[in-house]
Structure 1
Amino acid sequence: MEIKAALVDQMDHLEGWQGNATTACEWKGVSCNAAGRVEELSLAGLNLTGSLSPAVGFLTALTNLSVEQNNFTGTLPGAIANLTRLRFLNVSNNNFSYSFPAGFGALTKLEMLDTYNNNFSGPLPEELAVLPALEHLHLGGSYFEGSIPPSYGNISSLKYLALSGNSLTGRIPAELGNLNLLEGLYLGYFNVYDDGIPPELGKLKNLVRLDLGGCQLTGGIPAELGNLESLDTLFLQFNELTGSIPLGLGNLSNLKSLDTSLNQMSGAIPPDFYKLQKLELLSLFGNQLMSGPIPDFIAALPNLQVLHLWGNQFTGSIPANLGNSTKLIMVDLSNNSLSGVIPPYLCNGALQRLILQINQLSGPIPDSIGSCRSLEYLRLGHNQLNGTIPAALLGLTNLSFLELLDNHLEGPIPQGFINVPRLSRLDLSDNLLDGVLPSNIGSLQSMQYLALTGNRFSGSIPSDIGLLSVLNTVDLSRNYFTGGIPPEIGLCSQLSDLDLSSNQLTAEIPEELSHLPVLAYLNLSRNLLKGPIPEELEDLQTLNIVDFSYNNLSGPIPVSGTFQFFNYSSYVGNPGLCGPQNIIPAGSSACDSPKSTAYPMRSAPHRGGKAAPIAWIVGGLFAAALIVLLVGVCCFFNKYQWYISSILAKDKSIRPWKLTAFQRLNFSANHVLGCLSEDNIIGRGGAGTVYKGEMPDGENIAVKRLPGKATTKGFSHDHGFSAEIQTLGKIRHRNIVRLLGCCSNHETNLLVYEYMPYGSLGEILHGKNHVLLVWNTRYEIALQAAKGLAYLHHDCQPAILHRDVKSNNILLDSNLEAHVADFGLAKLLQNSGTSQSMSSISGSYGYIAPEYAYTLKVNEKSDIYSFGVVLMELITGKRPIEQEFGEGVDIVQWVRGKIQNKDMGVEVLDSRLGSKSLPLQEIMLVLRVALLCTSDLPVDRPTMREVVQMLQDVKPSSNDTKNVSSKPSTPNRKKGVTLSIV
């Protein structure tokens, strides 16, 4: 009952814990032995909060204690050391913090200790090395620091050791090679080791899984690893390993998964790999494997399912029998220098993804690819393929992504794609295709991206195109289409980009284009269009770029709405057009007056006249009055807010305050309330007011004050309080701001965070906080923030959507390390990769992904778009919306326009970065990541995990300008391998 008193059981799972000791053995989670003593206490997954009481130390007959998957905070009770009969202890997936308690060396019968995913800090507990029965030790996913104790190599009974995901440094002890019974060893991810892989690990004869990924290992792969005859998984990815893959790894006859991707390895695939008959995954991408062919024996590996060799230097032909005797599911050989033909046996009935783009492949697309019923994703672009598109290819019912661009394909598009219901992207650009566009194109109900530019298509554009309800981008430019623009295209309500330029289209521009509410890019140039530019297009507030040049258009040029920002280049080559002198095309004449016949059905206010000065005067007076009113409201609000703060601080008896701690706190609710004064305000925003406070022990905290849960007209709203508690209360990551606790008295909610001295990234980049961020610092901030978001998207179950990623929600600590903050809009995504519908648009202007604005659906790709905007802020130093961009133009569109010039985007760089010794190649590669993140189509955006990989791949060199923080510089890595292929 003392244990129950120390915890909070919100779901009443333990309501049956009542009565006396004689009934305790019947309580939920409690099991007793024959003598009536409690020998098992299992509280796993009950959503309990609070702390684990030291009273647990009185249950001295316990053999099994399990409290995993709860929200316990504070310290792990040292009284557990009294449980000398304990065999199994699992406290994983909680929020225990501070140092690991002493005394556990007394648990001589302990067989399993699992502390995964907590907040422990300090050194690893060395006394565990004396436990004679310990078989399973998992200390990963915390903040342990220092080096791995060499004495861990003395735990002779150990079968499983996981220390990954901490802050460990030093070397991997060679003594770990003495663990003869070890089956699983996990040491990577966030740990950073000074040296390479100890050859002594080759002595672990029983090792089944070795995971050393992502810990900056250097040197080569020891040949001694070839002695691990029981090994089925070897993960060495995301390191800085060099040299060649050693001969001898082919002796790993039980190996199923091998990943050495994203290193700096060279040489060839060892010839003894033919012996890896159980191999299912071979991932060597992103290295520098020497030019030469992919060995033929790769095609003979009978169990191979995933083959990732992209981003290397392979030449020659793809093995002719690849797929003939394997169970291939995914093949990615892109971004090499492969030649020859595509093998005919790639599809064996299981192939889902085939990516061969950016090579020198020739010959036709095999008919067998067209019969690959399991195929979902096909990218063959940027090769030299010829022949026709196999008729069956556009009849694959599972196909969702098809790219054949930049080849030499010819002939018509097969009519069969009425049977491709899932196809969302079709890119056949820059080929020699001809014929007409199939009339049944409207059957592609999932189509979002359609690009046929640079071919020889003719005939009319089918009216069925209006049936594509989710269509986002259409590019039919540089063809021979004739006839008119089908009015039905106005039914494509999600269309944002429409390019019909360089065709032979006639007739008038249909006014139905004005029905496209999110149209941002419209290019109808170099056609034979006639008649006026429809007046209704002025209503399209989302238009950023228009081009009507080189047609036979006539009549007035629109000047209202966004049209007032388009210059003469949008209309040149249309002698019949007329308009104001500032945008009049060369060779055209200005319209004489508002009543001219050139302005049919136009009213005088569009063109000014005598009423215009009066309108300006009235408008100016109204604006001035509005400003005075707003200033008055702001002054009243500030005074009112100060009054409320004073009441909260001085009269604490209005409602009792409750402080809920998520870790051990050395202060009370009264100390938190003492921070709520006008002098302590450090920020105000739509989510509340933020105060800085100093606690009795000298610790600084940040307190965010939110309105309490109010009910208005039957609707309840707690201003993001529940969202932040549910989110930050359950997660932990070094790049996510720590929620220390929360206070509430029903009228007001207070969130207590760790204090970030440098404030937000947005304040530093755009505000008065004059801290000069050199490039190396900006890069580190970008990488750290990406890691925090990747944790939310990929490591949380269920995945968490932030929904308000912006520079003002990235906070910087005393070392200028980034922490993602403000989870007031966060949502849990039960099924990763799916979308959730929102009742309204939430987020910050300039950061909102385009598809969210018109579908009200969000998934991980919405956060990724917003992060791409943050990357652009770091590179340009500009806000997402600046006056210099022009009306309706945001930073994404501005950057896209600037990078088209010969300087490749150099002019977008923040002038504060200077120009001396600036690593332009690195900055341009990060800019490339930003452009990928802000792709119009969600499917074109990388995942956050891929963003982290790409950013890691462009680390600034060690001779870059010194970081203003005290963090050590990181070694330089190869550049461009990942970026060039996404």
Structure 2
Amino acid sequence: MRELEKLAAKIIVVGLCAFVCVYPSMANVSWFNEDAQLLISMKSAMVASNSAFETWSIASNGSPHCSWTGVQCDRRGRVVALDISNMNISGPIPPQIVSLSELRSLNLSNNVFNGGLPPNVSNLRNLESLDVYNNNCSGPLPVELSRLVNLKYLNLGGNYFSGSIPREYAKLTSLEYLSLSGNDLTGAIPPELGFLVNLKSLYLGYYNKFSGGIPPQFGNLSKLVYLDIANCGVEGPIPSELGRLEKLDTLFLQDNALSGPIPPQLGRLGSLKSLDLSLNELTGEIPMEFKELKELKLLNLFINKLHGEIPSFIGDLPNLEVLQLWKNNFRGPVPQQLGQNGRLVEVDVSSNRLTGSIPPNLCNGGKLRILIILNNLFFGPIPETLGTCNSLVRVRMGQNYLNGSIPAGLLYLPRLNMIELHYNYLTGTIPERKGKAPAGASQINLSNNHLGGSLPSSIGLFSALQIFLVNGNRLTGPVPTEIRRLAHITKLDFSRNRFSGSIPAEMGRCKALNYIDLSQNKFSGPMPVQLTGMRNLNYFNVSRNRFNGSIPREFASMQSLSSVDFSYNNFSGLVPTGGQFSYFNVSTFAGNPALCGPFLGSPCSVAASTSPVQAQGNTKGVVSSSLKLVIGLALLFCSLAFAVVAVVKARALRKDRDARSWKMTAFQKLDFGRDEVLESLKEDNVIGKGGAGIVYRGIMSNGEEVAVKKLMRIGSAGSTHDHGFSAEIQTLGRIRHRHIVRLLAFCSNHDTNLLVYEYMPNGSLGELLHGNKGGHLHWQTRYKIALEAAKGLCYLHHDCNPLIVHRDVKSNNILLDSNFEAHVADFGLAKFLQDSGASECMSSIAGSYGYIAPEYAYTLKVDEKSDVYSFGVVLLELITGRKPVGDFGDGVDIVQWMKKTTNSVREGVTKILDARLSSIPLEEAMHLFFVAMLCVEEQSVERPTMREVVQMLADCPKTKPTQYFSPSQKEPKKPVSIQPPNLLTI
């Protein structure tokens, strides 16, 4: 009996042991299945491409979820990390996430999630890292995040969170990284954040609109390495307590409304490498205590109200690489030892009152890339050492008192993109370059100096040159024929010199030229007809020279011409009629007594209406009838030959076309196919032509209307590669926004691409605004179009990853549907086309004449701020009803005309309003005008972002019924007062 009891006891013990051993495994299996089911449930709740969660499936063999994309587990199979960043996921954040109770790291960044964080997010008690950066999340910041006491990393930046920062976040004492930048937060920055003593990085800037100043309590963040509170509206003085942050590496406080002097206590930040206090209202001098900042690499103090001399210790800082002090009130010399550390990369001290000579050792280490000293009082020669500084990319020394000659190698430096030496007292000749190596400069401005001698033939070495200005000098001799090599030149100004001889016919090979000014020289001879082959030519001035002969009639057929001046020469004969010439003023041809014709109101006699060449021909008699017969027979023979060739070619093309198959890629579900798209390509269906292709209107069998853009020769002939064009088209096809024209499909064969867009019945804003129906675009419609187009561009700049820079924002690229709702078209396509080998169809400058931002002149690249400038031009078009160029004469564009006309906003805006509008809400007009002025600021850093533009347009003040204005009146019906939008407070 006892043996049975012992056996039973053993069985019980073994059973208990087995249970103890097996139970955790059973529990793990339960957790395993639970976490897997949660992930599957999350997958069904998220909107993403099929490939994003391709591995997220429970197969019949029980595929472990720990191997799924973005999933990381512990040894028990519990999900501890989830990374689904950069998957283009949209919709709300799945609430099932909060049930992954063992989660320690969650990364949702760079997607399109919307709404707020899930309820009960505080259930993730083990969470140490939460990254929701760059989504569309909105609503207030969740207070319950303060319960996640284990959080070390929290990034909620780049969203649309609103309201104030919860003071409860001070409980997150384990935080080492906190980013709330790039949202719509308001209110004061909580001083309680100063209790987060473990913080190493703190980002609060960009697009937030805080009130008040920087809390002095931030001086308690003793472990802080990176502090960024830029562009968020903070005001008042810089707290001296920040000087206690001994480990601080980077301090960014730029683009705010900070005032008062720079605290000398910042000189205690011995570890500081980057200091940016630019774009504020700081006063006083640079503190002498800054001499202790031995680690400093970047010092940005530009656009403030600082004064005094630049301290000499600035030139002794051993690690200084970037020094930007422009647009202040600094005076005196620049430290002559600046650059001797051999590390200097960028110097910009422009727009001050600096004197003395240029420091000779700026390029000591051969690293100097950017040197800008324009608009000061510098005198003396340009250091010869700069002529051998091969690292230089951009040099701007204009508007000073520099004298002496140009260093021999300066213009021909291999990496130089732009050089400006205008408005100085430079003498000597333009240096000649020996050798055949091409020079790199894309813009050269030597205007308004005392340079003499002839133009060197080595000008032909500037194979990338786009802008060449030598006006206002004493240059002599003929223009060298080597100018024909400037294949990318767009602007040429030789005016007010002593050039002589004839214009070389080879200049006609410069097909990209859109601006030529040869006025006030001693040019002579006939006008070369080859110049009329420049189809981009917009401005042409040859006045006050000694040209003779007739004006070639081909000039009248140049559709791009908007301003010409042939006055005060010796031209004779009939003035060409028709074409663009019918729009020019009679003064264009003044001072040419031998000119005649209906345009001038003076009939031509036989002698007067005949050019010298024609007159010489007339002395030889009339062409004989036998010669006419020979010519006629020759033409008949040529016609027959061409007909035979055409038939043979047509048959070959037909066979070739049949051999090539078309491929169609649809970006959404379509009720039509490839054949219907191809059927639209008829001459009768053409609705537009441009440099990038031809646009056809197509009506599909289901009644849907589409616009088909035909692009030729995207890849090289015979090549199957498109240099990434198809991949980028795929990106454009996925873009969905109410104010972006939808790309429906993409068709291609061996040498032709077709882009199928949704059709816009009301055409483009430019056609409507500047055509006969411009007066029907009432004010409210114009304002609505402005806001809607801004929203479309904002989406491209801020909500696409990577962002898309349009590069050709203009009224003709804003299309209107049947309800006059605006849609931005051709976004980014100019860049893609240029990258794909179709550059022959593009201007060498990205954009259209009159819309191009001024910084292109010295950066030679465009970015999103260039789009902002172009959009500002569109706003001015909406306000004035005028075209960007052509209405103002002498090469003046709408921005320059606006600045000359509007001395004050209240009075000035009434001078430029479109006279076709019968009644305009004055406050709205002034508000839109203010926004336009901000957009077309000359310095790109002073322009708002498109997100800020949308905010300003949406916050337009409401006009009272008595505050309307008619452009036909001289004064508004009721005086009003309005302050301009301030980017520092929005």
Q: Same fold (TM over 0.5)?
A: yes
1:442 aligns with 2:487: no
Corresponding residue number in structure 1 for 2:648:
none
Question: What is the match of residue 219 of structure 1?
Answer: 236
Query: Does residue 1:393 correspond to 2:386, yes or no?
Result: no
2:912 matched to 1:908? yes
Question: Does residue 24 of structure 1 match 2:64?
Answer: yes
Q: CA deviation at 1:963?
A: 6.4
Match of 1:75 among 80, 92, 100: 92
Alignment coverage as a number of residue pairs: 810
Contact map agreement 1:300 1:326 (CA 8 A) in 2: no
Give matches, 1:827-838, under 5 Å: 827=829, 837-838=837-838
Could you tell me how far 1:416 is from its partner in structure 2? 2.4
The residue type paired with residue 876 of structure 2 is M
* Change in 2 beyond 3 A, CA 1:355/1:784: farther
Q: Deviations over 1:82-132 (max 9, x none)?
A: 222111111111122222112121222111011111222221111111122
Separation in 1, partners of 2:709, 2:432: 59
Q: Is the CA contact (8 Å cut-off) linking 2:122 and 2:144 kept in structure 1?
A: yes
Partner of 1:249: 266
Q: Please identify, of 890-899 and 238-247, the stretch whose mean Cα deviation from structure 2 is larger.
A: 890-899
CA distance in 2, matches of 1:974, 1:125: 28
Q: Does 1:481 align with 2:486?
A: no
Name the counterpart of 1:527.
545
The answer to whether the 8 Å contact 2:765/2:811 transfers is: no
- 1:63 is matched with which residue: 80, 104, 114? 80
Single out whichever of 533-542 and 919-928 deviates more from structure 2. 919-928
Pick from 211, 216, 230 the counterpart of residue 199 of structure 1. 216
Partner of 1:308: 324
Residue among 104, 117, 120 paired with 1:87 = 104
Cα distance change, pair 475–928 in 1 and its aligned pair in 2 (3 A): farther
Partner of 2:675: none
Name the SS for the 2:385 alignment partner: helix
3-state DSSP of counterpart to 2:516? strand
> CA separation in 2, counterparts of 1:128 and 1:778?
41
Q: Take 2:766 and 2:499, find their aligned partners in 1: how far apart are those partners?
A: 50
Counting only pairs closer than 5 Å after superposition, residues 591-602 of structure 1 correspond to structure 2 as: 591-592=604-605, 597=610
Q: Of the candidates 310, 323, 348, which is equivalent to residue 332 of structure 1? A: 348
Closer, same or farther: CA 850–220 of 1 in aligned 2, 3 Å? closer
Selected match of 2:193 from 170, 176, 190:
176
Which amino acid letter does the alignment assign opposite residue 511 of structure 2? Answer: S
Map of 1:941-980 to 2, 5 A cutoff? Answer: 947-948=943-944
Q: Distance in 1 between matches of 2:829 and 2:65?
A: 40
Q: Tell me the amino acid that sits aligned with residue 19 of structure 1.
A: A
Asked whether 1:295 is paired with 2:311, we answer: yes
CA–CA distance in 2 between the matches of 1:728 and 1:193?
A: 38
CA distance in 1, matches of 2:341, 2:72: 56
Q: Kindly state the Cα deviation for residue 254 of structure 1 after the two structures are TM-superposed.
A: 1.0
How far is 1:810 from its partner? 9.2
Amino acid across the alignment from 1:535: R
**Match of 1:633?**
none
> Which deviates the most, 395-404 or 538-547?
538-547
Tell me what 1:590 maps to. Answer: 603
Partner residue in 1 for 2:394: 377
CA contact (8 A) 1:311 1:336 kept: yes
Q: Using the TM superposition, give the Cα deviation of residue 311 of structure 1 relative to its aligned residue in structure 2, in angstroms.
A: 0.9
* Distance change >3 Å, CA 427–CA 789, structure 1 → 2: farther
SS in 2 for 1:873: helix
Q: Describe the SS at the equivalent of 2:476.
A: strand
Q: Which amino acid aligns with 2:490?
A: N
Deviation at 1:902, TM superposition (A): 10
What CA deviation, in whole Å up to 9, does each residue of 1:293-334 have, x standing for no partner? 111111111111111111111111111111112511111111
Question: Aligned in 2, Cα 1:256/1:878: closer, same or farther, shift over 3 Å?
Answer: same
More deviation in 82-91 or 866-875? 866-875
Is 1:14 matched with 2:54? yes
Match of 1:797 among 798, 802, 820: 802
Structure 2 match to 1:113: 130
Residues 143 and 167 in structure 1, CA contact (< 8 A), matched pair in contact too: yes
Q: Displacement, 1:532?
A: 1.8
Deviation by residue 1:549-578 (Cα, 9 ceiling, x = unmatched):
112222222123222222321222222222
How do 1:560-599 residues align onto structure 2 when only pairs under 5 Å count?
560-580=578-598, 582-583=599-600, 590-592=603-605, 597=610
Q: SS at the partner of 1:485?
A: coil
Unaligned runs of 5+ in 2: 1-35, 616-665, 670-686, 689-694, 715-724, 748-754, 759-763, 853-859, 962-976
Answer yes or no: is 1:491 the counterpart of 2:509.
yes
How far residue 515 of structure 1 moved from its aligned partner, in angstroms, is 2.0
CA-atom RMSD in angstroms = 5.1
Determine if the alignment matches structure 1 residue 471 to structure 2 residue 481.
no
Q: Which runs of 5+ in 1 are unaligned?
A: 39-60, 603-656, 661-683, 690-703, 753-758, 933-941, 976-982
2: distance between equivalents of 1:974 and 1:713? 44
Q: TM-score by structure 2 length?
A: 0.71
CA distance in 1, matches of 2:79, 2:484: 69
Rounded Cα–Cα distance in structure 2 between residues aligned with 1:172 and 1:372: 47
Shift of 1:204: 0.3
Q: What corresponds to 1:150 in structure 2?
A: 167
For residues 623-679 of structure 1, give each alpha carbon's deviation from its aligned partner in whole angstroms, at most 9, with x where no partner exists. xxxxxxxxxxxxxxxxxxxxxxxxxxxxxxxxxx9999xxxxxxxxxxxxxxxxxxx
Contact kept? 2:850, 2:894, Cα under 8 Å: no
In the alignment, what sits opposite 1:609? Answer: none
CA contact (8 A) 1:221 1:245 kept: yes
Matched residue type, 1:871: L
Alignment check: 8 A CA contact 2:98 2:121 kept: yes
Deviation (angstroms), 1:345: 1.2
Native 8 Å contact 1:394 1:420 kept in 2: no
Indicate if the aligned counterparts of 1:500 and 1:523 stay in contact, CA closer than 8 A: yes
The amino acid across from 1:445 in the alignment is S
Post-superposition offset of 1:221: 0.8
Checking the alignment, whether the CA contact within 8 Å between 1:782 and 1:871 is kept in structure 2 is no
Q: Which deviates further from its counterpart, 590-599 or 154-163?
A: 590-599
Conserved in 2, the CA contact under 8 Å of 1:799 and 1:828? no
Distance across 1 between alignment mates of 2:291 and 2:786: 42
The one of 292, 299, 317 equivalent to 2:333 is: 317
Return the alpha-carbon distance in structure 2 between the equivalents of residues 463 and 741 of structure 1: 48
Counterpart in 2 of 1:458? 476
Pair 406,175 (structure 1): closer, same or farther in 2 beyond 3 Å: same
Distance 1:525 1:335, change over 3 A: same
Instruction: Work out the CA distance in 1 between the residues paired with 2:805 and 2:126.
Output: 39
Q: 1:831-858 CA distances to partner (integer Å, 9 max, x unpaired)?
A: 9xx8555589799xx9845899xxxx99
* Equivalent-residue separation in structure 1 for 2:175 and 2:280 (angstroms): 30
In structure 2, which of residues 439, 446, 451 is the aligned counterpart of residue 428 of structure 1? 446
Is the CA contact (8 Å cut-off) linking 2:487 and 2:511 kept in structure 1? yes
Give the % identical residues: 37
Bigger mean CA deviation after superposition, 547-556 or 418-427? 418-427
- Rate the CA distance shift 1:467–1:332 in 2: closer, same or farther, 3 A: same
Secondary structure, in 3 states, of the residue corresponding to 1:506? Answer: strand
CA distance in 1, matches of 2:488, 2:742: 44
Structure with max Cα Rg = 2
Query: Which residue, out of 856, 875, 881, partners 1:871?
Result: 875
CA drift at 1:908: 3.3
Deviations 1:350-390 (A, max 9, x none): 00000000111111111111121111100000111111111
Aligned-pair CA distance for 1:872: 2.0
Flag the 1:434–1:354 CA change in 2: closer, same or farther, 3 A: same
Question: Shift in Å at residue 517 of structure 1?
Answer: 1.8
| Partner Cα distance (1:553, 1:891) in 2 | 23
Say if 1:403 and 1:802 are closer, same or farther in 2 by CA, change over 3 A: closer
What is the correspondence of 1:587-666 to structure 2 with a 5 Å cutoff?
590-592=603-605, 597=610
Question: Is the CA contact 2:931–2:981 (under 8 Å) kept in the aligned structure 1?
Answer: no
| Structure 1 residues 597 and 170: alpha-carbon distance in aligned structure 2, compared to 1, 3 A threshold | closer
Residues 536 and 560 in structure 2, CA contact (< 8 A), matched pair in contact too: yes
Change (3 A) 1:823 1:239: same
TM-score normalised by length of structure 1: 0.71
